[in-house]
Structure 1
């Protein structure tokens, strides 16, 4: 492959050559190429020198190809045509036949509400496309995008590379998840009762601090810290533990564990929006654009997904 680039040959000369061969004269070729006749003649001389053999001979008032010229014309024309078509007429994206594999970064708060309906849409509209789901969160998403470990992602994010495209999917809040058969938060969960209970938290740092500690400087009675939201339902059910989780997480957990309930968190937590993220370098990638559109459709049809948080 490197030898191709080592050859001192201007590929524009081949374009001039093909047009001259088709026109049969320098004058007509110059008109088609919007060049002067001397410029076309100079291009032919340069190409003849590079090839090392005559490409045309005089034939009356025009030019005729030599045997070497005929061979070059037969080889060059289809390749030039293919290059032009590739540049100005890219292949149409067909969702029914496309076999792309897209790498989707997801924070764990999004897998349950997003993946099942997304896969159903794929099965219906793009049955040959596949997904690789990569775990990301607000601390890792910048590197995942920069290194192309993911093609697009859905997560909370702070500062990102300048060429990152961002689209807010939704904004919600946190709730307190509990098992009313064991926990006793009362009719209204007060801050005193909240702090008196033991808690399970999600920490990506592997410590005993969550969003409550970081935002309000109070320390809950943390019984266990886990790295993802996946086990929260199992840990809360049958225990007196409280879990402060994004509303979207609580909704999905309760759909599987109907004995559990939620209460308002007695502290203002605010939060960042959940965003769909991708790099500008894949802005025109039709497969990734299609996947983005599917994610947006799922988010719009979800029943009040709420705001996922980085930690609970």
Structure 2
């Protein structure tokens, strides 16, 4: 196959040849191709030189195919139309028969609220599509998208211009606790900082966004790398966890005895984005999946 690609043949010349052969006239072919007659004649000379044999002879006011030209037309005819159709026809996409495997980069919070309903939607509408979920966060999402991930759902800062972005949902933050052990009537800032805390730190340290926001240090009892086990860690203890509201809702769906309190200081809401490489913007399977993700996220957004 590499030898074929190496041949110095301009495939546009074959299109010119096919139109001249059909029209039987260089002048008529030039009109159909929106080219000048000299340009068509020059194209035929180049094709003849490449093939090494004459393709046309003069016939009255037009041209007729030589035997070599007839063989070329016969070989070319079934392929040229298919190539043009493949280039111009919109891609056919049927979710019922699509067998794509989608690679989704998910933050640990997105895996909880997005993946179960997305899989249910695919089971109903695209039963042959499969999902490979890989963990991402704001520091790693750029590399994941450059490395073959079809879409990512996470918090993200600046990204290259070849990454498309759609604001997916907005969520505030809340304080999650076990009321059987942490007695909180109205949570004050003093009470908040007097309690032990469990935090999520992607740096693997004892510092979270509250320390960065307020310049104050909490009493960190435990630091973990994801939100997935916060409910189990809070349950049965007096520790507090400051989490996105969407995470608190998911945890309380499993552990309804846990409670939340508004934070005693102002925290700007967080935003989760849907990100995808610009190269897959017109990929029908990816577009289908992105539409499902947007539908799932819409009722979850806090404004």
Normalised-by-shorter TM-score class: over 0.9
Greater shift in the superposed pair: 129-138 or 53-62? 53-62
5+ unaligned residues in a row in structure 2: which ranges? none
Q: CA RMSD in A?
A: 1.8
SS at match of 1:225: strand
Q: Is the 8 A contact 1:103 1:152 kept in 2?
A: yes
What does 1:70-149 align with in structure 2 at a 5 Å threshold? Answer: 70-145=70-145, 147-149=146-148
- For residues 194-225 of structure 1, the C-alpha deviation after alignment (integer angstroms, 9 at most, x for no partner) is 11111111100000011111111111111111
Distance in 2 of aligned mates of 1:161 and 1:35:
41
Distance in 2 of aligned mates of 1:157 and 1:24:
61
- For residues 216-253 of structure 1, the C-alpha deviation after alignment (integer angstroms, 9 at most, x for no partner) is 11111111111001111111111221111111111101
Q: Is the 8 A contact 1:13 1:43 kept in 2?
A: yes
Distance in 2 of aligned mates of 1:91 and 1:279:
19
Number of residue-to-residue matches in the alignment: 303
Distance in 1 of aligned mates of 2:27 and 2:143:
57
Distance in 2 of aligned mates of 1:106 and 1:212:
23
Instruction: Select which of 264, 276, 279 maps to 1:278.
Output: 276
The aligned residue for residue 286 of structure 2 is: 288
Query: Shift of the alpha carbon at 1:41?
Result: 2.4
What does 1:134-283 align with in structure 2 at a 5 Å threshold? Answer: 134-145=134-145, 147-184=146-183, 186-283=184-281
SS at match of 1:160: coil
Query: Shift of the alpha carbon at 1:61?
Result: 4.7
What does 1:46-61 align with in structure 2 at a 5 Å threshold? Answer: 46-61=46-61
Distance in 2 of aligned mates of 1:41 and 1:192:
88
The aligned residue for residue 66 of structure 2 is: 66
TM-score (norm 2): 0.93
Distance in 1 of aligned mates of 2:290 and 2:110:
15
Q: Is the 8 A contact 1:198 1:221 kept in 2?
A: yes
